[in-house]
Structure 1
Amino acid sequence: MAHAQLLISYGQAFVAPERRQHRSSMSVRLPEAPLLKVKGGCAVISDSISRNTMAKQAGDLSVRGFLSDYYSTPEHWDTKTSATRVLRALNSWCYSQSQHVKEGSFVSSLSAMVFLGREGHLFHMGDTLVFRLRGAEFEQLTRDHVTDVGGYRYPSRALGMDGSVDIDYTHLALKQGDLFVFTTQAVRGTLMPSDYVRLIRQDASDLDAACERLANEAKQRAQERGYGGDQFCFQLLRIDELP
């Protein structure tokens, strides 16, 4: 009998006003079998503040940089060592680059999750959000690191904010059917846990469509509450089969 391997499905949706640049970035990478067995699959989301003129570059760069560097780490390094070293190096690079630009910075919040074998490894900095939906239980896996300055909430402990960085690390056992939601701070004050459960469960066979439902409902709620049509991005990832 052939051994089952890790099988993952995912979907994504982005809602953003045309005239404004994206300031969030997200990606999923599921490599071919040999690399999947050694390094696992990976989902990343990053988000920079709207006041940052280089928000789009910061978000894109952190996601692309993490994925390319993580999969280039030596095979004998474990997941925690690989991801932590990559994030520390990326943090130093972003921090040093920010010293050379006149406006804006390479600072962004980032959450990255590696799925390897029957385990999940979550690395988190700043205020991006990762939730897990298991059965009817909806749980936030990340902590919001934010500072209030003059009525505005800014991410703290974010990537590129300082020469050194504190990285939250969470180790999880995976279950078949687990759903992970990756999103950004813009969603705060729009969707309740019951909304996530309802909108995802409405039809979880098409994860792109489920993400679209989440994004559209968040946008609608934001407009009703006078937040304006801020940008929302959602990434949904489901564990279909475990080795």
Structure 2
Amino acid sequence: MNAPSPPLPAEVSSAPALSSGLCSTAGPKPQNEDAGVFHWPASPHLQQYLGAVAAVADGVSSAEAGALASSTATQQFVEDYFRTPDTWSAAHAGQKILASINSKLYRKSHEFAQEEKGFLCTFSAVVFKSRSAHYFHVGDSRIYHLRQDQLKCLTRDHTVVLSHRRRMLARALGMDTGLQVDYGRVELERGDCFLITSDGVHDFVDTEFIRALLARPDLTEQQKAEALVRAAEENGSDDNLTALVVGVRSVPETTLDDYSRQLTRLPFPPPLTPGMILDGYRVEREIFSSQRSQLYLVTDTASGEALVMKTPSINYEDDIHYIDRFIQEEWIGLRIQSDHVVEVHRQQRPRTALYYLMEYVDGCTLESWMTENRFPKPAEAFRIIREVSAGLAAFHQQETIHQDLKPANIMLDRAGRAKIVDFGSVYIAGSAEVFRPLEHPGALGTASYSDPHYILGRNSGIQGDIYALATIAYEVFTGELPYGEGINECRSLADYEQLRYRPAAAFNPVVPIWFDRTLERGCSIDLEERYHTLDAFITDLGTPNPDYLRDDPSDQQGQNASLFWKLLCGLWAITLLALLALFSSGN
């Protein structure tokens, strides 16, 4: 099958012509907690399908980490937006990304709860895509739109008035686990001007001054931004000041909307066979096939590069949730950057069917490697586990949980380097509306590695991935599972709690006791006992934990009592010897 991409109309290939200016200063404060960015990608493909982004964030002054929060929000919004699939609308992409950023900042705030250190900021952004401006807003920064000398504030301040001079921010990124984002859309016209300001600017200049300044044709956008900040300073602004101005020089004569609607519901590819060409990718062979998807080794006919193409199963052609989930996999892969996670390739050509591309890892799965290496060298085995942990850490840094880590989802390349290669069950904190328990229809062995709490419908987060990693580590060193095959028969928490951990030394006598007890804690059914961080688990695997060198590390109370009685008996012995010596000298 040779399916060339349908040509786009000539007008569609153009993007809006934009010019921008940004001015941000600390003002009278010692530190600038504002952050502003305008990003217009160099790639024509990204310009055409994703457009440009302008964003301003204002760190909440009462939060010690406000500056870091605002810089994190603006940078991550830009980075994540330009990794979204072409098939996502700007509205969907923006709100999903902001939910993820909010979750990240909220988690960081609670890490420092005892230090009263909060990662909080306001956020306002405009995405310029084709003939539309999509705006997103949280907090009390503002977005203004000037058209033909008419100025309109597109946003409303999310504040609560306490008194004439006091206001309290009611909504901000990182403030709560849930996030309400104001979203709107404006059809672009040539000559439009957009302005995003922090409250250090718009609280100290009136709207008439803003309107008159933005309407001046003799000033560049940069000069307008600088003039606004300067005017606010002269009017006594006591805050950080940021102004970002974007001018629209031209817009496409037609819109991408019709074409985008086609993209969002691309047809499923038919079963592919060697020699077929789809969008310039020649199929070499099928790598894997299941009820839910297929993997093919393909060659880019333009560059000669070998890639893996993942296609959805036609069994789900009418399942809208499955389609959205499949598209989300591509976004997840584009966001995660790690030497130990397979790289998802950004599409540079229009697609005529639903699929995505990944790097080709020439090697074998960890599952097959373990079959050939029953008792590997400890140093090599530990290196593999440490590399898988590094890959999981890259997921966690993006507020995502893998949920379905297993040896079949880990590849070892020709150099022995480990890479996680599957995104199908990933949970994204903040953007997932409902946690969905894992299902394992026909997937033999998967339940052996998944946290029982996942299977029973509870999201145990990072601890779930630690469970899977500990189980895999146990199997790498012993060739067995920590609870045996009986774990696949469990149907309730009571069933799981009846399981008993099998000491690793029973299958591999060279496993030291401290290493075994680290594995036992890593795959504990009880979440209170299980490790809470990957770093702690990997540290104890690599370095003997003194607590695990005792006969029974869990019997701390008994050890303390034993020590007490030993000291008491020693004291009695010393006292008795002293009395005997005194008695002897008296005689």
**Which residue, out of 109, 114, 118, partners 1:105?**
118
Distance 1:109 1:204, change over 3 A: farther
Distance 1:64 1:189, change over 3 A: closer
For 1:133, what is the secondary structure of its paired residue? Answer: strand
- CA–CA separation in structure 2 for the residues paired with 1:19 and 1:172: 35
Would you tell me which structure has more strand in proportion to its own residues? 1
Deviations 1:58-103 (A, max 9, x none): 1100100111111111221111111111111111111111000123
Q: Identity percentage over the alignment? A: 26
Residue 7 (str. 1) matches residue 17 (str. 2): yes
Would you tell me which structure has more helix in proportion to its own residues? 2
Distance 1:149 1:100, change over 3 A: farther
For 1:84, what is the secondary structure of its paired residue? Answer: helix
Alignment of 1:7-156 (within 5 A): 7-17=17-27, 20-31=30-41, 32-101=43-112, 102-149=115-162, 152-156=166-170
- CA–CA separation in structure 1 for the residues paired with 2:140 and 2:60: 10
Shift of 1:18: 6.8
Shift of 1:202: 3.8
Q: Which residue of 2 aligns with 1:221?
A: 235
For 1:92, what is the secondary structure of its paired residue? Answer: helix
Distance 1:37 1:56, change over 3 A: same
Indicate conservation of the 8 Å contact 2:146/2:214, yes or no. Answer: no
Deviates more, 1:194-203 or 1:177-186: 194-203
Shift of 1:156: 1.6
The higher-RCO structure (CA 8 Å, 6+ apart) is: 1
Runs of 5+ unmatched residues, structure 1:
none
**Which residue, out of 201, 204, 207, partners 1:193?**
207
Alignment-mate amino acid for residue 180 of structure 1: F
Indicate conservation of the 8 Å contact 2:193/2:246, yes or no. Answer: yes
Indicate conservation of the 8 Å contact 2:15/2:129, yes or no. Answer: no
Q: CA RMSD in A?
A: 1.9
Residue 241 (str. 1) matches residue 250 (str. 2): yes
Greater Cα radius of gyration, structure 1 or 2: 2
- CA–CA separation in structure 2 for the residues paired with 1:143 and 1:204: 30
Q: May I ask how many residue pairs the two structures share in their alignment?
A: 238
Indicate conservation of the 8 Å contact 1:49/1:154, yes or no. Answer: no
For 2:111, what is the secondary structure of its paired residue? Answer: coil
Distance 1:178 1:93, change over 3 A: same
- CA–CA separation in structure 2 for the residues paired with 1:123 and 1:85: 11
Indicate conservation of the 8 Å contact 1:15/1:216, yes or no. Answer: no
- CA–CA separation in structure 2 for the residues paired with 1:118 and 1:14: 28
For 1:186, what is the secondary structure of its paired residue? Answer: helix
Question: TM-score, normalised on structure 1?
Answer: 0.91
Shift of 1:104: 2.5
Distance 1:68 1:204, change over 3 A: farther
Deviations 1:169-226 (A, max 9, x none): 101111111000100122344211210122233455421111111111111112xxxx
Question: TM-score, normalised on structure 2?
Answer: 0.39
Q: Which residue of 1 aligns with 2:372?
A: none
- CA–CA separation in structure 2 for the residues paired with 1:188 and 1:236: 13
Runs of 5+ unmatched residues, structure 2:
1-8, 253-587
- CA–CA separation in structure 2 for the residues paired with 1:232 and 1:186: 5
- CA–CA separation in structure 2 for the residues paired with 1:158 and 1:137: 29
- CA–CA separation in structure 2 for the residues paired with 1:12 and 1:233: 8
Alignment-mate amino acid for residue 174 of structure 1: L
Indicate conservation of the 8 Å contact 1:22/1:55, yes or no. Answer: no
Alignment-mate amino acid for residue 238 of structure 1: G
- CA–CA separation in structure 2 for the residues paired with 1:39 and 1:48: 27
Shift of 1:241: 1.0
Distance 1:137 1:95, change over 3 A: same
Alignment-mate amino acid for residue 78 of structure 2: L
Deviations 1:39-68 (A, max 9, x none): 111111111222222111011001001111
